[in-house]
Each structure stands twice: as structure tokens, then as C-alpha cells.
Amino acid sequence: MKICVLDGYAANPGDISWDEMAKMGELTVYDRTKPEEIIPRCTGADAVLTNKCVIGADVMDALPSLKYIGVLATGYNVIDVTAAGRRKIAVTNIPAYSTESVAQLVFAFILECASHVGAHARAVRAGQWERSADFCFWNEPLTEISGKKLGIIGMGAIGSRVAEIGRAFGMQVTGYSPSKCDKSVLEGIICDSDIISLNCPLKPDNAGMINADAINRMKPGVWLINTARGGLIDEQAVCDALASGKIAYFCADVVSREPILGTNPLLKAPNVLLTPHIAWAPYEARVRLMNTAVNNIRAFINGERLNRVDA
């Protein structure tokens, strides 16, 4: 079996071994692949693994030997799954590998907004405590999150874990799942939460759900956390709300266009914490991802369905 990995650097920049995958067949790994390089590099391959390289019907038609596509991520919108199904090409993804690490980043954001650890540590190193007239000082507002209302939009594995951690901190937690909850629950989260965490997939019916209208219904000084997808947010509306103080803090690991563009208004907005889509990337999570990728291929070779997303 010939296996081609198109953009392996994201999941494995060199700190994890490819050896287990190499046992599955003849393995070729590329760190990065340009769109025009996909077909030449995959020609003759039985299995192709991708993270962000797009594989549409035209690519599949040019690769008659292709039998399997493995997505090295949970989201598989880079694959034309319908086209793959028509061509009897198996497609798999990697579910639930980053639950702990994404939930961890949600609370890294929340705790930074609550205690401003980074800002205060920098202030100490700059001599501000040394020069203080008092035995201690703080130059940012400090907040206790116990008792605060945490609203979670999206109660899959990650949202459920965020809820567990929130309760451990003594927060009042409300979660919304479109398949299990009435819309009134979502409206309650929008209107009543002190902190809102987005942990839902991006779909046509929720794109831009955090827009000017939704923000107007939020409590003054709300904290907004997005570790899901940038398309859930109307970024200009969020910037306007930050400028007015309606939103106190906005924290995001994702934006509408990635890598972020220099023209993104969030880069100049006040009280914004942006990280470069790293919630999924701790070593432990990526080891789980790689192990699952190997197991997916092994199951396919053995004629078993594991983490299949094709029809």
C-alpha cells in the first residue's frame, strides 16, 4: 500500500515518529504541499492523508488508484465527501483527540482575563512592584470566576468538558446543544451569561451567529471566548462592541481567515487575546491524533469501518 502524507508538519513537526504508519505500507511524507503539487505527489498512491490540503472531485478523478483519504483533523470540510462516496473512496477523520487541550485553552483564556497573570508578571519584571508605595499592587481588574454564569454554545465532547471544569471552579454553567435544547436555552445564554464560550462546529445555519444583534442582547461587560471556528463571529461587530465596552474581553484561537490577515480589525481592537489556532496542538493531543490515524489505516486495510465519514 502506497501512503502519501501531504502536509504532515502541522500534526508532526518532528517530535513524533512516523514509524508506526510506515509499517502500514510505503510511506512518503511531505511537510507542506501547494495546491498544484497535490496530484503529482499523490499519483500512484492508494492512501492520502491531509490536514488542510483540499481534495475535491477533480483531484480524485486524476488519481485512479486512490482508495482511502485520511484527514489528520476532526473537521473534514477539505474533502468532497459526496464525491468520495460515489467513487467508493473511504474517508476518515480523527474525532475527540483534542478535547482536553481545547478545554484547557478555554480556561487559559478565562483565567488570564480574570487574573491577568501575564500582565502582572511583566509588570513585576519591569520594576513596578519594586517601586510600589504599597506591599502589593495591581494594574488590571481582578475577577473571581466562582459564581459567574458560564454559557457554552455547543455541548459535544469539548463543550461538555468545558462545563465540567466550569463547575469545578464553582461557576453557574448552562450549555446549549441544537439537537437537545430548545432555542430558548440559546437565548438565555446570549442574554444572561457573564462568559460565553463557543464550542460548536461551523455550519451554514450558525455562520456569523455572534453578530451585532446578538451582542446587543448580551450583558454589558460580557467575556466572549471562541475556540471553535472564526466564521461563527462577525469580527467587525465584535470590534465595535469592544470599543464601546459592551464586550469586556474577546479571546479567540480562530479567526475568519487563517493565517490571520494584517487587515483583520481584531488586531487593533482593545482587550483582545488572540492565539494562532493552537488549542489542538499540545504534544499529548498530537500523539493521540497520530495513533488514531494509524489505527484508521489499519482498520481500512482489514476491511473494518473506523472513524469513517463517507456514506
Active site includes 164?
A: no
Query: Cα 62 to chain center, whole Å?
Result: 31
Angle of CA points 88, 288, 284, to nearest 5°: 155
Q: Is 82 exposed, middle or buried (0-12, 13-18, 19+ CB in 10 A)?
A: exposed
Q: Is 175 exposed, middle or buried (0-12, 13-18, 19+ CB in 10 A)?
A: buried
Q: Residue 83: CA atoms inside 13 Å, Cβ hemisphere, count?
A: 16
- Tell me phi and psi for residue 282, to 5 degrees: -55, 150
Catalytic residue among 144, 164, 187, 258: 258
- Catalytic residue (choose from 41, 87, 277, 308): 277
Amino acid letter at 55?
A: I
DSSP-assigned letters across all residues of 204-220 = TTTTT-BSHHHHHTSPT
Active site residue 112: no
Distance CA 63, CA 49 (A): 14
CA 242 – CA 52 distance, rounded (Å): 32
Catalytic residue among 229, 235, 286, 288: 229
User: Of 259, 265, 244, 303, which Cα lies nearest the Cα of 10?
Assistant: 259
Does the active-site annotation cover 229?
A: yes
- What 3-state class would DSSP assign to 86? helix
- Cite the active site residues: 229, 258, 277
